[in-house]
């Protein structure tokens, strides 16, 4: 069921550009796990704003790897209203990505509900073993569980550290509009992974791994207390994908 529905959404993207001016604006909550100051979330807001009412509710700091953890079960939630920066409003949440999604939907979204939640754009693809621990996907999953359709979007890791989120943001905005047009027929949760070089769109399983954890390195020791940092290595399949310029944008469940 998923594949034909999303294929229909992509067809809508290609055939409805002439009707964009008369479409009613829909309401989108944007979140992520890289933090409210990330470049990915800024690119997403810029791409969505011409077609949607955009509100941002995102972690105050980077909360990568938080999965769908919810700190609201054990503590109160601190939220700061910050400069809108192109959105209608922005909220910095001292909590997990799922916390930020919950606040957005049950806080500012209580009186004026959102039509969709978009989580991203994550710095690094979320495939294989990264899927269950991803805070980007966790926030989207939490939103879907609260009854709001959600998209998680991630961009492939770059070894040079230079990220341009323009393409990923543009694709995401087009797909978001198309899924909104599908109404109740649209899938409730979609994950988009955008490679560094994209020459098309393909529906694929969320297979492969972007990285693997190789060990822990002790960075500080004070008496009985030690501080460790995880060490990572790029997965072999991720390196192959990076050298394959014809690998298309992957849209996965």
Q: How confident is the model at residue 132 (pLDDT cuts 50, 70, 90)?
A: confident
Q: Burial-class residue 212 by CB neighbours within 10 Å (0-12, 13-18, 19+).
A: middle
**Rounded distance between C-alpha atoms, residue 208 and residue 130, angstroms:** 9
Mean pLDDT in residue range 7-23:
45
Q: What is the DSSP letter of 83?
A: -
Residue 59's beta-bridge partner residues?
Answer: 93
Mean pLDDT in residue range 80-90:
96
Mean pLDDT in residue range 15-42:
79
The per-residue pLDDT for 28 is: 98
The per-residue pLDDT for 211 is: 60
| Nearest of 128, 147, 125 to residue 136 by alpha carbon | 125
Domains of the chain: 2-17+25-204+248-252 (3.40.1210.10), 211-235 (no CATH)
pLDDT of 86 over the 90 cut: yes
> Do the bridges between strand 189-194 and strand 201-203 make them parallel or antiparallel, or are there none, so unpaired?
unpaired
105: Cβ contacts below 8 Å, ≥ 6 apart:
29, 113, 114, 117, 143, 146, 148
- Residues 56-94 as b or e (16 or more Cβ within 10 Å = b): bbbbbebbbebbbbbbeeeeebebeebeeeebeebbbbb
Alpha helix (H) ranges present in 107-207?
Answer: 135-145, 166-182
94-113 per-position pLDDT tens digit = 999 999 999 999 999 999 99
Length of the chain: 253
Backbone phi and psi for residue 235, each to the nearest 5 degrees, phi listed first: -70, 150
The per-residue pLDDT for 240 is: 42
Half-sphere exposure of 4 (CA within 13 A, CB side): 2
% of the chain with per-residue pLDDT over 70: 75
Q: How confident is the model at residue 197 (pLDDT cuts 50, 70, 90)?
A: confident
The per-residue pLDDT for 208 is: 61
The per-residue pLDDT for 12 is: 43
**Rounded distance between C-alpha atoms, residue 113 and residue 107, angstroms:** 10
**Rounded distance between C-alpha atoms, residue 53 and residue 60, angstroms:** 22
pLDDT of 168 over the 80 cut: yes
Q: In angstroms, what CA-CA distances link 51 with 28, 38, 104, 163, 219?
A: 10, 22, 20, 24, 47
Q: How confident is the model at residue 88 (pLDDT cuts 50, 70, 90)?
A: very high
């Amino acid at each position: 069921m998923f594949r034909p529905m999303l294929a229909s959404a992509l067809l809508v993207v290609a055939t409805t550009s002439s009707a964009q001016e008369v479409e009613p604006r829909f309401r989108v909550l944007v979140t992520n796990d890289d933090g409210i100051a990330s470049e990915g979330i800024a690119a997403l807001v810029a791409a969505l704003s011409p077609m949607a009412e955009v509100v941002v509710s995102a972690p105050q700091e980077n909360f990568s790897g938080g999965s769908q953890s919810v700190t609201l079960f054990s503590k109160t939630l601190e939220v700061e209203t910050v400069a809108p920066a192109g959105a209608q409003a922005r909220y910095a949440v001292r909590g997990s990505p799922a916390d930020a999604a919950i606040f957005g939907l049950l806080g500012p979204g209580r009186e004026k509900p959102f039509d969709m939640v978009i989580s991203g754009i994550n710095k690094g693809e979320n495939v294989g073993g990264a899927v269950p621990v991803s805070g980007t996907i966790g926030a989207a999953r939490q939103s879907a569980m609260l009854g709001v359709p959600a998209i998680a979007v991630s961009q492939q890791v770059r070894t040079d550290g230079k990220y341009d989120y323009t393409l990923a943001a543009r694709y995401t905005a087009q797909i978001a509009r198309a899924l909104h047009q599908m109404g109740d027929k649209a899938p409730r949760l979609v994950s988009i992974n955008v490679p560094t070089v994209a020459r098309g769109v393909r529906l694929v399983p969320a297979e492969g791994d972007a990285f693997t954890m190789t060990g822990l390195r002790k960075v500080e020791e004070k008496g009985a207390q030690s501080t460790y940092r995880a060490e990572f290595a790029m997965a072999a399949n991720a390196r192959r994908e990076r050298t394959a310029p014809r690998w298309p944008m992957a849209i996965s469940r």
